Amino acid sequence: MKQKLSIIKIGGNVIENKKDLTKFLQAFSKIEGLKILVHGGGKLATKLGEKLGIASKLVNGRRITDAQSLEVITMVYGGLANKNIVAELQSLECNAIGLSGADANLIQANKRPVAEVDFGFVGDITTVNSDALHKILENQWMPVFCAISHNKKGQLLNTNADTIASEIAIGMSDMYETTLYYCFEKKGVLLDVSDNNSVVTHINTSSYQELLAKKIIADGMLPKLENCFNALHKKVAKVCIGDISMLDQKSTLHTTITL
């Protein structure tokens, strides 16, 4: 029987709120077994960029990463956000280690080709170094990944944190029974975005198509669900979406996604 591994991606709204972040990290520290945390930090990067006179450029909600923006993202994701999380986890007796995709060549990516939009230094993941990550876990370190990959030619790349979490879960699924958690400020996928208790508790392939047809799943939830089903089709055992309470094994009010 495979050992269980939990991969948890934390949303930007939680990272930005100190109280919510502390609450999340306390819950995360209590999860039993092997675990990996993935985070972004887009709102923090935007704020720092504004202080430095570097304006953020977004197209359809996706960040354009030019050379200056990449410097800010590296400082915030790999520095400020990552190290604050690692330090707080250490205070909670979690032996956390902060990582980017470049560390130990853990996540390789290619720069996204220019199509209708040139997204700049944005990476599309090609490889997760599961053997190296397995060794880190075996040594009782708890990885905390920021949303940065690299192309193994000296170039860092801004990479979607949801996708990083999904690809890590997929990459580790041959060795472990992997469960992927997307933890953000909502209780799950909602039937009514104005009602935080209108949670769709279970979604499978069939019901997903119905929700799409009714346009209940739209906007930012669309790429998240695409990542979920991609992971499930590639041997990830289970995917869950919800707020901090989802990490309590007794909680049932969140969305579980299966094939």
Q: What is the pLDDT of residue 94?
A: 95
Q: Distance between CA 243 and CA 222 in Å, rounded?
A: 18
Percent of the chain predicted with pLDDT > 90: 66
Across the beta sheet with 96-99, the strand order is 96-99, 142-145, 34-39, 3-10, 176-183, 238-242, 255-257, 202-203
**pLDDT-derived band at 213, boundaries 50, 70, 90:** confident
**Quick check: 83 pLDDT over 90?**
yes
CB-neighbour burial class of residue 116 (10 A; exposed 0-12, middle 13-18, buried 19+): exposed
pLDDT computed for residue 212 by the predictor: 87
Give the separation between CA 242 and CA 254, rounded to whole angstroms. Answer: 5
The rounded distance, in Å, linking the Cα atoms of 172 and 15 is 25
Please tell me what DSSP assigns to residue 83. H
E strand or H helix at 13, and its extent?
helix 12-16
**In the prediction, which pLDDT does 61 show?**
66
Q: What percent of the chain has pLDDT over 70?
A: 98
pLDDT, tens digit, 9 for 90 and up, residues 88-97: 999 999 999 9
Q: What's the pLDDT score for residue 161?
A: 94
Of residues 117 and 9, the one with the higher pLDDT is 9
Question: Residue 11's pLDDT is what?
Answer: 86
Mean pLDDT of 68-80: 95
Residue 81 Cα distances to 104, 163, 243, angstroms: 20, 18, 20
- Which domains are assigned to the chain? 3-257 (3.40.1160.10)
User: Is the torsion defined by CA of 230, 234, 237, 243 positive or negative?
Assistant: negative
In contact, 255 and 188? CB cutoff 8 Å: yes
Q: What is the pTM of this model?
A: 0.94
Are 151 and 157 in contact by the 8 Å Cβ rule? The answer is yes
CA dist., res. 3 & res. 26, Å (int): 23
Average pLDDT for residues 68-74, to the nearest whole number? 94
What's the chain's average pLDDT? 92
User: Could you report the per-residue pLDDT of 125-158, keeping only the tens digit for each?
Assistant: 999 999 999 999 999 999 999 999 999 999 999 9
